[in-house]
Amino acid sequence: MAEATIQLSGTKTEKYEQLLPIIQALVNGEEDMIANLANVSAALKQGFGFFWVGFYLVKADELVLGPFQGPIACTRIQKGRGVCGTAWQEQTTILVPNVDEFPGHIACSSDSKSEIVVPLMKGNNVIGVLDVDSDRLNDFDEVDSLFLTKLCTWLSGTL
């Protein structure tokens, strides 16, 4: 695919509805998981201007940093630790309006204020998580949860 700039407009819902087909086109026909996760991270970052967006992949008994866009990140996260480790353990999306109020939050960056983490499921197993951080409080809502879960469900089927 040629170089492209993603410009979205409208409500948050309309922006996600515009972005998901773009992401599907980026991934379509590419078999390399890392390349696909890198492009998904870039598309989400460029489309929404998130502070940090990326993936952690399950390797043995921990989450290991995968493709991402944003500041330097934590490299390894234990199951049940922080938002990512908790989403992995509970196999569910976790939306955190204020990371300072989340018990055991791992502060990879003090600029992160709110967060949403969505597990990538393969059958009954979590194979990774999508982690999105904002530098604003209460930046994520049920619209983000709905569309990012939809994206991760689709993406898990392609990996």
pLDDT tens digits along 55-92: 999 999 999 999 999 999 999 999 999 999 999 999 99
Check pLDDT > 80 for residue 108: no
Two tokens, residue 35: 């390349």
Q: pLDDT tens across 29-46, in order? A: 999 999 999 999 999 999
Please tell me the pTM assigned to this model. Answer: 0.93
Domain boundaries, the chain: 12-158
Helix (H/G/I), strand (E/B), else coil: 42: helix
Q: What is the pLDDT of residue 1?
A: 46
Distance CA 145, CA 5 (A): 24
The CA distance from 62 to 128, in Å, is 10
Cα separation, 133 vs 124, whole angstroms: 26
pLDDT for the residue 3 = 57
CA distance 119 to 76: 16
Q: Which of 82, 37, 77, 84 is nearest to 61 (CA)?
A: 77
Among candidates 117, 110, 132, 52, which has minimal Cα distance to 86?
117
Write down the CATH superfamily of domain 12-158.
GAF domain (3.30.450.40)
Q: What is residue 138's predicted lDDT score, i.e. its pLDDT? A: 96
What is the pLDDT averaged over residues 82-108? 90
